[in-house]
């Protein structure tokens, strides 16, 4: 084999190796980023997860919890609809397990960012409810 042919194959092999290493590094960094953004939140009260007492919610949140237990009526059409948990910040569950409800923000004409997301098979008596004030970027377990 001529020198130039061998040199060309070496360059080609080196490019393949560099690409594989870069891809592996990206996968590793991506996995670390996902793990850093995806805390494990237990579904049951009494665990060591960030929580908020019901009395610590804004008045509108406390009122919404009461409406949830009564089955409504709800102000917004989206209230009581399925929450997909796409952010994967809540414990994994089958589709349809979580439902979302708007916590009104005084002074806003739209739904705002505050929500309560409850999980369970019976919407009026959920297994657990979570409060978010930043439109699903973080959740706190509501404890009574």
Catalytic residues: 100, 135
Residue ranges with strand state E in 55-132: 81-82, 98-102, 115-119, 128-132
What are the residue ranges of helices labelled H in the chain? 3-37, 59-70
Give the separation between CA 114 and CA 120, rounded to whole angstroms.
Answer: 20
Give the chain's radius of gyration (CA, Å).
Answer: 24
Angle at 95 between CA 85 and CA 93, to 5 degrees: 70
- Count of CB atoms situated within 10 Å of the CB of 131: 23
Give the three-state DSSP class for 34.
helix
């Amino acid at each position: 084999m001529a020198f130039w042919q061998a040199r060309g194959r070496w360059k080609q092999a080196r490019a393949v190796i560099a690409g594989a290493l870069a891809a592996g590094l990206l996968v590793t960094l991506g996995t670390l980023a996902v793990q850093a953004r995806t805390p494990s939140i237990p579904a049951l009260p009494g665990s060591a997860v960030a929580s908020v007492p019901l009395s610590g919610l804004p008045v509108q949140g406390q009122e919404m919890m009461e409406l949830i237990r009564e089955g409504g009526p709800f102000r917004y059409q989206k209230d009581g609809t399925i929450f997909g948990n796409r952010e994967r910040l809540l414990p994994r569950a089958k589709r349809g397990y979580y439902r979302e409800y708007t916590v009104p923000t005084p002074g806003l004409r739209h739904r705002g960012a505050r929500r309560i997301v409850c999980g369970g098979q019976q919407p009026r008596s959920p297994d657990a409810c979570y409060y978010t004030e930043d439109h699903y970027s973080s959740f706190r377990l509501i404890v009574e």
